[in-house]
Structure 1
Amino acid sequence: MGTIVVSENVTLDGVVQDPTGDEGFALGGWFTHFGGADRDEWSAIEYAEARAAAALLLGRRTYTWFAGRWAARPGDWADRLRELPKYVVASAALDGPDWMNVEVVKGEVVEEVSALKQRVDGEIVVYGSRQLVQSLLAHDLVDELRLTTFPYLLGAGERWFDRIGPATRPLRLVTTRAIGNTLALHTYRPERAA
């Protein structure tokens, strides 16, 4: 059985909007302000995560962003992302560059992702995909959250947790890891009733 692992870069105040500044958000681009050893260590962690994944689950816009940057990129990390099965939640055909091993997930998201968890053995990693993640969280389909926090307080912007419903969702901190001198990786799992 598969597990849904949400892996996200997020500011200290929870903003996930426009990390690279491509969307035109006035406070976007916060991801691009780090480099050197911190970026190298972050990249090593992300590559290890991709090597351990069984599949990727992406929203349409995130898929288009990743495919445009990774489909033709050289290197081991890009090769691994190319070879992974990619399930893309989209209501229509995908635009942009083709990326290998892509299946469009249509229909009701909760049912389709629940079925996907039954079919895939291993970690199904979700990058970005704010609206998809909000839906998965609201329906208790996320098995693990990996939040890499960037030391910025933006004070505005879209956050993951703004639209997941009013119910309290207790989480258990599994690990915390410093990444270089500026980043921290926090891993949480939901506390579910036995």
Structure 2
Amino acid sequence: MSEVVVQAFITLDGVSQAPGGVDEDREGGFEFGAWQFDYPLGELIPEWESRTEALLLGRKTYDIWSKAWGVWDEDAPGLQGELTRRYNRVPKYVASRTLTELGWANSHLLGPDVPAAVAALREQPGGEIRVWGSTELIRTLAEHDLVDEYRIITYPLVLGTGKRLFAAGFPHTRLSLVESWPLDFGAIVSRHRRAGN
């Protein structure tokens, strides 16, 4: 059985919008793109991503990632090349009401019944099905109790605006804290699983 794992960078006020690039997501007039770049990544993300067996993405995140990871040089040094190789090879499952075809290698549309498609993916043998970004998709998954784990790095930063991972109206969700620890620069890493798992 596979597990759906949401990974997120968030600020103290819960903002998860555009941590990775200035123009990554300017929706709503967001002006703080690339806010996470002021902080080191360390070895945590490569270790987490080494477990990624598939990506589960909303349409907007798919658009952003396919124009980045989907075209970057796989032979680039360091983490960029490592993740580009991994992301190009794993299957990518995309939730979209508007896309009819996908250009990034190994990408598949989930179809009109996203919860049923994701439930079927979870039943297949495999490892971690990784969700990055995709706040609307995460909300849908949570409504159907399809998220097995949230891995969150909370940064010592308040932006006061932007999309939040757990925005108003997010479904009631009971979680258990698996572990948490501070990073040297003041961020907190936490892992939360569905209560009872």
TM-score (norm 2): 0.84
Matched, 1:64 2:63: yes
Q: 1:158 aligns with which of 152, 160, 163?
A: 163
Quote the offset at 1:83 in angstroms.
0.7
Q: 1:111 aligns with which of 112, 116, 136?
A: 116
Task: Give the match's secondary structure for 2:104.
Answer: coil
Task: Give the match's secondary structure for 1:135.
Answer: helix
Q: After alignment, is 135-144 or 17-26 more displaced?
A: 17-26
Quote the offset at 1:120 in angstroms.
4.5
Q: In the alignment, what sits opposite 1:73?
A: 72
- Pairing 1:12-161 to 2, within 5 Å after superposition: 12-19=12-19, 20-22=21-23, 23-24=25-26, 25-29=29-33, 31-35=35-39, 38-39=40-41, 41=42, 44-74=43-73, 75-93=81-99, 98-161=103-166
Judge conservation of contact 1:5–1:124 (CA < 8 Å) in 2. Answer: yes
Aligned-partner residue type, residue 143 of structure 2: A
Judge conservation of contact 1:175–1:188 (CA < 8 Å) in 2. Answer: yes
Quote the offset at 1:105 in angstroms.
0.8
Q: Deviation per CA, 1:127-173, whole angstroms, max 9, x where unpaired?
A: 000100011112211100001112111223221222323x3x22111
Q: CA RMSD in A?
A: 2.1
Quote the offset at 1:85 in angstroms.
0.9
Judge conservation of contact 2:17–2:33 (CA < 8 Å) in 1. Answer: no
Sequence identity, in percent?
32
Judge conservation of contact 2:9–2:36 (CA < 8 Å) in 1. Answer: no
| Whole-angstrom distance in 1 between the partners of 2:87 and 2:37 | 24
Matched, 1:190 2:194: yes
| Whole-angstrom distance in 2 between the partners of 1:142 and 1:80 | 22
| Whole-angstrom distance in 1 between the partners of 2:52 and 2:37 | 27
Quickly say closer, same or farther: Cα 1:11–1:118, change in 2 above 3 A: same
Task: Give the match's secondary structure for 1:188.
Answer: strand
Quickly say closer, same or farther: Cα 1:80–1:33, change in 2 above 3 A: closer
Aligned-partner residue type, residue 45 of structure 1: L
- 5+ unaligned residues in a row in structure 2: which ranges? 74-80
- Larger helix proportion of the pair: 1
| Whole-angstrom distance in 2 between the partners of 1:26 and 1:57 | 24
| Whole-angstrom distance in 2 between the partners of 1:180 and 1:77 | 24
Q: After alignment, is 177-186 or 66-75 more displaced?
A: 177-186
Number of residue-to-residue matches in the alignment: 185
